[in-house]
Structure 1
Amino acid sequence: MKKIGVIGGSGFIGSYIAQQFLYRGYETKVSVTDITRKDKYQHLNTFKNSENLRISELNVEDKEALRIFISDCEIVIHGGTPFILDVQDPQTQLFDPTVKGTENFLEVISESPSIKKVVFIASVAGWNTNFPLPVGNKSFKDTFDESHTRYTSNESHPYAQAKYIANQTVEKYVKDNPNLPFEITTVSPVMVMGKALSQREDSTSGGLQYLIKNKMAPDNFIQFFYDNDVPFAIVDVADVAHAIFLAATTMGLHGKDYLLSSETYKVSDIHLMLNNKEPIEKPIVIYKNALAKRDLKASFRPVKETLNAYST
């Protein structure tokens, strides 16, 4: 039985990833930040083959803890970076766990002989820190794919900047270490939405869906989306998890970074679909997914299906 480690495996995306591997009979080790908070991971025990599940406490800034966590894994999925929009201290809340955590992880996997495959769950912010706004002077209708130049701005949200720096850290590591005994593949989802597998109410993705469904704006950052009817490229959380499973179990993808995306809708239409109403405009595809479809054989459901399912 192969063993996989999922860093951040009890979160919104991570839960779906853990479910994918458990369902297929993998021994699945999941990290949590606080083992005493059973409410944050008890839902994993309801999954098929949960007898093959192991829960471990892990702080990604602790190299020795990371070393112990991955020591017997053949596959490691790193999705243990925070997604926080309401930030009080960017350095402590975002840059340290995201960037330093990535640096620590890369150092530790270099010393682990059991690892055959690593998948980083990055973000569209690794390609464009302005997301959901377009790159530089581009328009909202200009398409984007993996052949385009990455874009970053110091004016972007700290979360996006942290993810961008972490992505650059991984790219440099791959370039500087051409003879690694394992493969590294990165996936970069756009805005991930869908129905959570847990009853947790502290998910940023779930919280954003709730806000848009009810047209609530707790701050100017969210109000900006409504005022300008900003278009969002969206991808279903289950499709992201399946693409990650495919990336983790397919060899020959070393150094690749795949955009995971479905359709783009304005926030006003997202609000309608979250309330099971018909959108006014037809969807467009801005962030392309052709590379993920070709290499991973991944598929992406219509956004309308994703948003309708959120309320069921």
Structure 2
Amino acid sequence: MKTVGIIGSSGFIGSHTTKKFLDKGFKVKASVTDISKTEKYHHLKSLNNAENLEIVQLKVENKEQLKEFASGCNILVHGGTPFQLEVQDPKTELFDPTIEGTKNFLEVLNTASGIEKVVFVASVGAYNTNFPLPPDGLGPDDTIDEENTPFISEESHPYAQAKFIANQTVEKYIKEHPAIDFEITSVSPVGVMGMALSKREDSTSSGLQFLFKNRIAPNPFIQMIYETDAEFALVDVKDVAEGVYRAAVKKGLHGKNYLLSSESWKVSDISVLLNGEKPKGNAKIVYKNDAAKRDLGIEFNSAIVPLTEFSNNVAVKSTHK
């Protein structure tokens, strides 16, 4: 039985990824930033095969903790960067844990032994920090894939900028270490939708769906999305977990970064779908998933699937209040 270490295991994507590896018969070493806050990760203990789950405390800023975490792992999944839209101090809240944490992690890889594969959960921000709007120079009818020149703007949201720089850091490491004896593969999800496995109330992904469902705009970024009726590229969180798993177990993917995307809907139609109603428009393909389908063998769900799941579950919860 092989062991996978998952950094960020109790988050929205991380929980589904942890579930996927447990279901596939792996031992999972799961990291949490504060082990005393059991309410943030206790849902992992109810997953199938949870007897093969070990939960340890880890902060990516601590190199010694990172070294200890990597010890004994055959696969490492790094998805432990903060995803938040409300930001007071971008450097402290986003740039340091995302960029410096990635640098620390890469440094630890130089001394780790027994590692066969490393998977980074990057972001669509690695390709376009303007997301959900198109990169400068492209229009609403253009498509984007892994061959597009990555775009970054200082005007973009700090989260997207941090993920872009972190991904560039990974690519630089790969170029500077051509003789490493393990593979590094990244996956870059677009807007991740679906139901969380936990009842945590601090999930940005779940919160974003709630905002779209109720047409709430708590900040200028969300207000801009409504005002432009942006076409938002979406992907099912279960497909993201599948993508992480397949990137981890399949060989020959070193240096690749796969866009994980289903289809795009205008945010007005996303709101309608989240309320269980019929959309006025139709889905488009903006971020192409051909490479992920070809190399990872993923058949992506329509974005309607996770939106409907969220809509139905929120409706059920409301009736039981």
TM-score band, normalised by shorter chain: over 0.9
Q: Would you say 1:120 and 2:111 are equivalent positions? A: no
Question: How many corresponding residue pairs?
Answer: 312
Which residues of structure 2 form unaligned runs of 5+?
314-321
Q: Deviations over 1:162-212 (max 9, x none)?
A: 000000000000011111110000000001111111101100011010001
1:137 Cα deviation after fit: 2.2
Q: Alignment partner of 1:66: what SS?
A: helix
Question: 2:165 — aligned with what?
Answer: 165
Question: Which residue type is aligned with residue 208 of structure 2?
Answer: L
1:46 aligns with 2:41: no
2:273 corresponds to: 273
Q: Equivalent residue of 2:216, what SS?
A: coil
Q: C-alpha distance in 1, partners of 2:32/2:84?
A: 17
Q: Please tell me whether residue 78 in structure 1 is matched to residue 78 in structure 2.
A: yes
Q: Quote how far apart the aligned CAs of 1:84 are.
A: 1.0
Q: Hey, what does 2:319 align to over in structure 1? A: none
Q: Secondary structure at the match of 2:16?
A: helix
Alpha-carbon separation, structure 2, partners of 1:60 and 1:200: 22
1:45 to partner: Cα distance: 0.9
Deviation at 1:25, TM superposition (A): 1.3
**Deviating runs (4+, > 2 A) in structure 1?**
none
Deviation of residue 109 (structure 1)? 1.1
Structure 1 residue 278, shift from structure 2 partner: 1.1
Match of 1:262 in 2: 262
Quick check: 1:27 aligned with 2:30?
Answer: no
Secondary structure at the aligned position of 1:175 is classed as: helix
Helix, strand or coil at the partner of 1:188:
strand
SS at match of 1:83: coil
1:174-189 aligned within 5 A: 174-189=174-189
Deviations 1:5-58 (A, max 9, x none): 000001000000000111111110110011011111011111110000000110
Counterpart in the other structure of 1:55: 55
Deviation at 1:138, TM superposition (A): 1.1
Letter in 2 for 1:167: N
Partner of 1:302: 302
Deviation digits for residues 77-130 of structure 1 (CA, Å, limit 9, x no counterpart) = 000000011000000000100000000000001111111100000000000011
**CA deviation after TM superposition for structure 1 residue 228, in Å:** 1.5
Aligned to 2:205, the other structure's residue is in SS state: helix
Structure 2 Cα separation of the partners of residues 93 and 23 of structure 1: 33
Q: Greater CA deviation, 204-213 or 223-232?
A: 223-232
Partner of 2:221: 221
Helix, strand or coil at the partner of 2:77: strand
Deviation, structure 1 residue 305: 1.2
Give the letter aligned to residue 178 of structure 1: P
The alignment status of 1:36 with 2:74, answered yes or no, reads: no
- Provide the secondary structure at the position in 2 that maps to 1:184: strand
Equivalence for 1:95 = 95
Instruction: Report the 3-state secondary structure (helix = DSSP H, G, I; strand = E; otherwise coil) of the residue aligned with 1:103.
Output: helix
Identical columns (%): 57
Report the CA distance between 1:220 and its aligned residue: 1.8
SS of 1:169 mapped into structure 2: helix
Partner of residue 135, structure 2: 135
**Structure 2 SS opposite 1:254:** coil
Q: 1:203 maps to what in 2? A: 203
- TM-score w.r.t. the length of structure 2 is 0.96
Corresponding residue number in structure 2 for 1:7: 7
Deviation at 1:156, TM superposition (A): 0.8
What residue is the counterpart of 1:285 in the other structure? 285
Equivalent residue for 1:231?
231
- Cα distance in 1 for partners of 2:285, 2:235 equals 11
Residue identity opposite 2:102 in structure 1: T
Distance 1:172 1:110 in 2: 14
Look up the equivalent residue of 1:123 and give its one-letter code. Answer: S
Q: In the alignment, what sits opposite 2:316?
A: none
